[in-house]
A and B are shown apart, each in its own frame.
Chain A
Amino acid sequence: GAGVSQSPRYKVAKRGQDVALRCDPISGHVSLFWYQQALGQGPEFLTYFQNEAQLDKSGLPSDRFFAERPEGSVSTLKIQRTQQEDSAVYLCASSFGQGYGYTFGSGTRLTVV
């Protein structure tokens, strides 16, 4: 596709439920990033992939968060045993090569009830 595609667009999860968020980057983009954006705040870095290699996961807030990109294209962010503080918009971004020129997806709005 022409842009970064994320699904689902909205997700409501009961506390304790596991969720999986999908990101389909722009074709050929080597770098893929996940960010978390709380209401009224700027995006905060979670993790970074270069192709299939996860080069930085220092932003993941706990071991309940896990991300993968097994074939170097589509990525999945998984959150286990969701808690209310996980409620946020999860943004995926990709860029060509190792450049800075991010293109963000529209995000997945996760609400934990």
Chain B
Amino acid sequence: GENVEQHPSTLSVQEGDSAVIKCTYSDSASNYFPWYKQELGKRPQLIIDIRSNVGEKKDQRIAVTLNKTAKHFSLHITETQPEDSAVYFCAAPRSGSARQLTFGSGTQLTVLP
């Protein structure tokens, strides 16, 4: 099965700075990599995802990059704002192309005003 490792576990940045969260995965057959944002006491929400046929995807201030050779992918948030403060989870298919996901352990991002 898939093993997903995420770091850092906590990240504090000043408002306006960039934040980067990294994940590694073990199954080379994995082909889909989503990122979820979870605010305290709320549901995880999909914020961006990438498939293995592309190396980068952007959506306004958020981008995800994928390095299939090294089996890692990263979330980049630019011009951070206090409302970006939350726990972010990466995920990968539980095994190969399965629809079930294995999640990382999460990164608590705090954006300081």
Q: Judging by beta carbons under 8 Å apart, are A42 and B43 in contact?
A: no
Cα separation A60 to B42 with both chains bound (whole Å): 23
Q: Which residue of A lies closest to B103 (CB)?
A: A42
Q: A101 contacts the other chain (Cβ, under 8 Å)?
A: yes
Q: Judging by beta carbons under 8 Å apart, are A102 and B102 in contact?
A: no
Q: Judging by beta carbons under 8 Å apart, are B46 and A107 in contact?
A: no
Measured between C-beta atoms, what is the minimum distance from B35 to chain A in Å?
Answer: 12
A48-B99, A98-B99 are known contacts. Are A42 and B104 too (CB-CB below 8 A)? Answer: yes
Q: B89 contacts the other chain (Cβ, under 8 Å)?
A: yes
Q: Which of A41, A44, A91, A101 contacts B43 (CB 8 A)?
A: A91
Q: Judging by beta carbons under 8 Å apart, are B100 and A56 in contact?
A: yes
A40-B106, A45-B94 are known contacts. Are A101 and B46 too (CB-CB below 8 A)? Answer: yes
Q: Judging by beta carbons under 8 Å apart, are A91 and B106 in contact?
A: no
Which residues of B have CB within 8 Å of A102?
Answer: 34, 46, 101
Cα separation A42 to B105 with both chains bound (whole Å): 5
Q: A95 contacts the other chain (Cβ, under 8 Å)?
A: yes
Cα separation A44 to B99 with both chains bound (whole Å): 13
Residue among B32, B99, B105 having the largest count of chain A Cβ atoms under 10 Å: B99
Measured between C-beta atoms, what is the minimum distance from B71 to chain A in Å?
Answer: 18
Measured between C-beta atoms, what is the minimum distance from A34 to chain B in Å?
Answer: 10
Which residues of B have CB within 8 Å of A91?
Answer: 43-44
12 A-B Cβ contacts within 8 A? Answer: A41-B106, A43-B44, A43-B89, A43-B103, A45-B102, A56-B100, A102-B34, A103-B46, A104-B44, A104-B45, A105-B43, A106-B43
Residues of B in contact with A (beta carbons under 8 Å apart): 6, 32, 34, 36, 42-46, 49, 89, 91, 93-94, 98-106
Name the 8 nearest CB pairs between A and B, nearest first: A42-B103, A104-B43, A45-B100, A106-B43, A42-B89, A104-B44, A100-B32, A43-B103
